[in-house]
């Protein structure tokens, strides 16, 4: 089977493209403060991924029975990974991007989703653009 001819300009030669990719370097990392300690973060990483990458597998317990909770679904459905970030409680660590200077408190987040606001968004959630209601105090 012969590939269809391209009508656009020819792509960059593969060896050149490969060399450029090999030389790519991520932005410098940073740390976030977590319960008095620090956790290394790669830019773009969520707080949940940073905690998990640092070997922290659970960071709160259920109210009933004290069962450990941490990163479970990783997509914001289960609410097992709730943390407090910069004083804003009940943020899902798996959806909240870590930012330089973040102070993360674990263990004191409630074991249930936050109440819905009148706008239909959950209180305490941060949007990727940083303009959500959870931005108070940032």
| Predicted model pTM | 0.62
Torsion sign (Cα): 35, 39, 43, 107: negative
Taking the C-alpha atoms of residue 84 and residue 109, their distance in angstroms, rounded to an integer, is: 6
**Residues 79-129: tens digit of each pLDDT:** 999 999 999 999 999 999 999 999 999 985 444 444 444 444 444 444 444
- At the topology level, CATH places domain 29-111 in Ubiquitin-like (UB roll) (3.10.20)
- pLDDT at position 19 is 72
Token output for 68 = 């450990």
User: Any idea what DSSP says for residue 117?
Assistant: P
Alpha helices in the chain (DSSP H): 14-23, 47-53
């Amino acid at each position: 089977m012969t590939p269809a001819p391209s009508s656009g300009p020819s792509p960059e030669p593969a060896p050149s493209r490969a060399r450029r990719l090999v030389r790519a370097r991520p932005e410098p990392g940073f740390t976030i403060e977590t319960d008095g300690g620090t956790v290394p973060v790669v830019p773009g990483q969520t707080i949940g991924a940073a905690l998990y990458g640092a070997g922290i597998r659970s960071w709160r317990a259920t109210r009933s029975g004290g069962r450990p909770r941490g990163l479970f679904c990783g997509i914001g459905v289960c609410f097992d990974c709730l943390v407090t970030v910069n004083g804003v409680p009940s943020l899902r660590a798996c959806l909240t991007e870590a930012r330089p200077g973040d102070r993360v408190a674990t263990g004191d987040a409630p074991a249930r989703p936050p109440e819905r606001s009148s706008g239909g968004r959950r209180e305490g959630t941060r949007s990727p653009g940083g303009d959500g209601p959870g931005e108070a105090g940032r």
